[in-house]
């Protein structure tokens, strides 16, 4: 087994987070937000992916992320202006980087031609930045200040000759004035193995102020004894930065501090303490071989499988009395890095999703058993003030708190789904030759993870249709007096205990005469059918319906919107359309926040027990004879506070009975649907409010019109959960497809029907 397998899993999980950060940052920049923190976050995301990929020898990912990082570094430094063309290139590069990550994770392949072409575009962009003639030159590590190379002789020296103790000086600036820091930086081999570069770190220091850099090459062995995978050079940097503090300096090294020896000193602040402090390692003192001490410390802290140390360094190691001090410094640096990493941010753990699902199931069973226990106690006739009844009340409150806490664990923002859509929009826009701008709102809206996992495909279908069918070409938009760039808006919000997702476009809208004619041609409706605008709009959800004249990679096969509707309905949700010709369309998805539990009103209808979702109920009332008006042989309305709403007998709507009882002998539930429409549902009696565990009826039986799901009551019986919107607005086509006896088959379901749910 691969000992790094578990670490790789964590790495790829973090890659997904970094890719999301990269995407959101670039989109924010595209929208005009050029705050330095956003630019730095984008750079760090690519840099982190590159560093982790280097640790696992993912060469293709390292190569592309390196080119990408170079371009982003020039953007961050101001050498490249992040205009719209540059940002479009960076967004497409982010897509390629995501492809490389997923290929490395899943073992797939990346389109090498596309990746190579994108890398060339990035190199050309980097070459066009100020101060950089090419990508390679821009990434030499010292491009931001005047670097003077040294001539170094690699002629083999005698084995007995000790290495030079005088450090070659790359550049020595005059004694700095103002607040200054002395940074001694000695990388370990692990730093290079993770694709980190000292040159970039020194460049970051140069952003804080003026730097003077000295290279310590005292650890260089003879050429024959040199290990190409080891680290031999160190740097002593004098930084003059009046406005910086030591925390800002240390932040430059936060990505590599565990893989190097780092010592940061502010002479002015520590001059008083230096007189009484214990001797420290000083890279400038010839009698101390710092590289030997660092190498001995790193061997003590992090065991390595590298080649033995060069023989020329052995005498220095043996002779040095300060090796223990170096060990303490290295250990202390690692401890400080861990402390900083843990402090100031929320503590999180990664838990296998199967464990959370198991916990959810157990909580559901706990809710059912608590309800059963309460039912048994009620049947025994115990008083509410008795100790048993009071204990049951406490148990109910505790069960509710446990259930809420567990559901909060599974609650996740819809951002994980939304963040996939910008790339989809770019690809479809390129395929159709249209100019599209995607606006996303409410990405932080939380919903159960089970719902999120099943939202991706429906949203993908609808975004594709909005661009392909909804938006006009740039020329058509200009001719219609619209901007060349079409707008697609994706928004999420909470409403009435549900999550509502809207997909809005400002395109041509639904061509109702064309839709109607296509439905007639395909035999979906008769030519004599008298249909409202809403009914015509809903024809696009019928199987086999498509307005595309040709079949393409995007659409035309008639397997899109009917699949979307079935997917949404399987989640207990609904989809509605609002369209205005020439102005655009709005598709609204309404979904439950969770597929596990809900608060409901338990009612009795024709001897059957049903549950009405509490979020849909406004009030309950006893109808009076003077308030009910008959409309035709089978329809009634009821007057409620100066308005009339339809009065619907649930028993007749679900096929439990043929004749409705007298309204004055029943109870009416005033409910409100997703579109704001209201109706009064007539039931025989109300048993009470109860929290119930949702069991899928479709998975255990089959879809039933007017029924959203089922549950198990405290006495072990199965009760059906009403789909309020379906009852308020019956769909004859769906009822005909389901058959008239669907409800009567469930009139007395067996208690074991939903045990597997």
pLDDT for 382 beyond 90: no
Predicted TM-score (pTM) of this structure: 0.56
Looking at 1.10.10.10, 1.20.120.160, 3.30.70.20, 3.40.30.10, the CATH number of the domain 5-138 comes to 1.20.120.160
Say how many C-beta atoms besides its own lie within 10 A of residue 664's C-beta. 12
Q: Which residues pair with 597 in a beta bridge?
A: 693
pLDDT of residue 343: 46
> Two tokens at 652?
């007749």
Q: Where are the domains of the chain?
A: 5-138, 180-342, 353-412, 414-592, 597-745
pLDDT of residue 304: 40
Tens of pLDDT along 609-660? 999 988 788 888 888 888 888 887 778 888 888 888 899 999 888 888 888 8
Tens of pLDDT along 446-475? 888 778 878 888 888 889 989 988 899 999
pLDDT for 698 beyond 80: no
Q: Return the SS3 of 170.
A: coil
Average pLDDT of the residues in 417-441: 88
Q: Of 39, 48, 41, which is closest to residue 16 (Cα–Cα)?
A: 48
Query: What's the rounded Cα separation, in Å, for the pair 27 and 426?
Result: 12
Q: Tell me which of 584 and 13 has the higher pLDDT.
A: 584
pLDDT of residue 370: 81
pLDDT of residue 155: 52
Average pLDDT of the residues in 675-695: 83
Percent of the chain with pLDDT over 70: 75
Q: Tell me which of 242 and 220 has the higher pLDDT.
A: 220
Q: Of 556, 576, 557, 555, which is closest to residue 565 (Cα–Cα)?
A: 576
pLDDT of residue 683: 92
pLDDT of residue 319: 37
Confidence of residue 554 (pLDDT cuts 50, 70, 90): low
Confidence of residue 305 (pLDDT cuts 50, 70, 90): very low
Query: What's the rounded Cα separation, in Å, for the pair 54 and 256?
Result: 13
pLDDT for 307 beyond 60: no
Q: Tell me which of 369 and 281 has the higher pLDDT.
A: 369
Average pLDDT of the residues in 91-115: 88
Residues near 440 by beta carbon (within 8 Å), at least 6 away in sequence: 418, 421, 422, 489, 490, 491
Query: Per-residue b/e over 248-261, b at no fewer than 16 CB within 10 Å?
Result: ebbebbebbbbbbb
Q: Of 196, 186, 241, which is closest to residue 44 (Cα–Cα)?
A: 196
597-605: strand order across its sheet: 685-693, 597-605, 608-613, 718-722, 707-712
Average pLDDT of the residues in 14-43: 86
- Mean pLDDT over each residue of the chain, to the nearest integer: 75
Please report where in the chains the tokens 């202390």 appear, as a residue.
332
CATH topology for 414-592 is: Heat Shock Protein 90 (3.30.565)
Say how many C-beta atoms besides its own lie within 10 A of residue 129's C-beta. 21
Q: Tell me which of 634 and 359 has the higher pLDDT.
A: 359
Tell me the CATH number for domain 597-745: 2.40.50.180
Q: Of 235, 219, 237, which is closest to residue 289 (Cα–Cα)?
A: 219
Tens of pLDDT along 288-303? 455 555 555 545 444 4
Tens of pLDDT along 183-227? 998 898 888 877 788 888 888 888 888 889 998 888 888 887 888
Q: Return the SS3 of 192.
A: helix
pLDDT of residue 655: 87
Tell me the CATH number for domain 353-412: 1.10.287
pLDDT for 526 beyond 60: yes
Average pLDDT of the residues in 704-732: 78
pLDDT of residue 73: 87
What one-character-per-residue DSSP string does 479-508 give? HTT--SSEEEEEEEEEETTEEEEEEEE-S-
pLDDT for 600 beyond 90: no
Q: Which residues pair with 211 in a beta bridge?
A: 239
Average pLDDT of the residues in 137-150: 43
Query: What's the rounded Cα separation, in Å, for the pair 654 and 660?
Result: 12
Query: What's the rounded Cα separation, in Å, for the pair 264 and 446?
Result: 44
Confidence of residue 754 (pLDDT cuts 50, 70, 90): very low
Residues near 290 by beta carbon (within 8 Å), at least 6 away in sequence: 184, 186, 216, 218, 219, 234, 281, 282, 283
pLDDT for 312 beyond 80: no
Tens of pLDDT along 489-525? 999 988 766 789 999 999 999 888 888 888 888 888 8
């Amino acid at each position: 087994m691969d000992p790094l397998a578990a670490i790789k899993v964590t790495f790829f999980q973090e890659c997904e987070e970094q890719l999301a950060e990269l995407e959101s940052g670039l989109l924010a920049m595209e929208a005009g937000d050029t705050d330095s923190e956003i630019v730095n976050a984008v750079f760090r995301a690519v840099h982190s992916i590159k560093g982790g990929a280097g640790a696992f020898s993912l060469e293709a990912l390292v190569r592309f992320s390196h080119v990408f990082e170079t371009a982003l570094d020039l953007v961050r430094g101001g050498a490249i202006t992040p205009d719209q063309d540059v940002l479009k290139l960076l967004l497409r590069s982010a897509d390629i980087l995501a492809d490389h990550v997923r290929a490395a994770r899943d073992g797939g392949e990346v389109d090498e031609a596309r990746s190579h072409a994108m890398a060339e575009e990035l190199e050309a962009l980097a070459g066009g930045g100020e101060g950089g003639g090419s990508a390679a030159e821009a990434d030499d590590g010292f491009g931001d200040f005047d670097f003077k190379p040294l001539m170094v002789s690699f002629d083999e020296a005698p084995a007995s000759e000790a290495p030079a103790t005088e450090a070659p000086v790359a550049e020595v600036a005059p004694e700095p004035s103002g607040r200054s820091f002395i940074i001694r930086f000695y990388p370990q081999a692990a730093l290079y193995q993770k694709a980190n570069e000292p040159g970039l770190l020194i460049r970051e220091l140069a952003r804080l102020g003026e730097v003077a850099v000295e290279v310590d090459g005292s650890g260089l062995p003879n050429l024959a004894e040199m290990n190409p995978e080891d680290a031999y050079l160190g740097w002593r940097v004098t930084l003059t930065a009046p406005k910086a503090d030591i925390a800002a300096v240390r932040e430059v090294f936060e990505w590599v501090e565990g893989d190097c020896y780092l010592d940061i000193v502010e002479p002015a602040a520590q001059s008083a303490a230096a007189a009484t402090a214990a001797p420290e390692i000083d890279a400038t003192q010839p009698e101390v071989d710092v590289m030997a001490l660092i190498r001995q410390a790193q061997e003590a802290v992090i065991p390595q499988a590298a080649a033995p140390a060069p023989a020329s360094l052995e005498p220095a190691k043996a002779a040095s009395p300060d090796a223990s001090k170096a060990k303490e410094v290295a250990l202390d640096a690692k401890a400080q890095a861990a402390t900083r990493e843990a402090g100031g941010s929320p503590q999180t753990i990664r838990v296998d999703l199967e464990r959370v699902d198991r916990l959810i199931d157990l909580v559901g069973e706990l809710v059912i058993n608590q309800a059963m226990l309460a039912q048994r106690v009620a049947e025994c006739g115990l008083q509410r003030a008795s100790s048993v009844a009071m204990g049951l009340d406490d148990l109910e409150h505790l069960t509710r708190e446990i259930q809420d806490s567990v559901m909060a664990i599974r609650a996740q923002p819809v951002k994980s789904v939304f963040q996939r859509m910008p790339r989809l929009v770019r690809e479809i826009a390129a395929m159709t030759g249209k100019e599209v701008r995607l606006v996303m709102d409410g990405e932080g809206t939380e919903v159960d993870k089970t719902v999120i996992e099943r939202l991706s495909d429906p949203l993908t279908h609808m975004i594709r249709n909005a661009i392909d069918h909804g938006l006009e070409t740039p020329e058509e938009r200009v001719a219609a007096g619209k901007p060349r760039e079409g707008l697609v808006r994706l928004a999420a919000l909470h409403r009435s205990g549900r999550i509502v997702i809207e997909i809005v476009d400002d395109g041509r809208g639904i061509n109702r005469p064309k839709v109607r004619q296509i439905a007639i041609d395909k035999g979906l409706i008769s030519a004599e059918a008298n249909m409202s605008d809403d009914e015509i709009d809903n024809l696009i959800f019928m199987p086999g319906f498509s307005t595309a004249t040709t079949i393409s990679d995007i659409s035309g096969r008639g397997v899109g919107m009917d699949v979307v509707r079935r997917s949404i309905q399987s989640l207990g949700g609904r989809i509605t359309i609002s369209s205005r010709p020439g102005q655009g369309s709005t598709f609204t998805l309404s979904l439950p926040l969770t597929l596990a539990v809900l608060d409901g009103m338990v009612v009795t209808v024709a001897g059957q027990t049903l549950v009405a979702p509490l979020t849909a109920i406004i009030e309950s009332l006893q109808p009076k004879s003077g308030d009910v008006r008959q409309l035709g042989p089978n329809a009634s309305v009821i007057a409620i506070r100066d308005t009339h709403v339809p009065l619907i007998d649930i028993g007749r709507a679900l096929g439990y009975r043929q004749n409705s009882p007298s309204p004055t002998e029943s109870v009416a539930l005033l409910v409100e649907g997703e579109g704001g429409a209201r109706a009064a549902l007539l039931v025989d009696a109300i048993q009470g409010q109860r929290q119930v565990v949702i069991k899928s009826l479709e998975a255990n039986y089959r879809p039933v019109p007017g029924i959203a799901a089922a549950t198990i009551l405290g006495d072990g019986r199965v009760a059906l959960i009403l789909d309020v919107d379906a009852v308020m607005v019956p769909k004859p086509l769906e009822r005909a497809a389901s058959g008239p006896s669907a409800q009567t088959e469930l009139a007395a379901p067996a208690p074991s029907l939903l045990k597997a749910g």
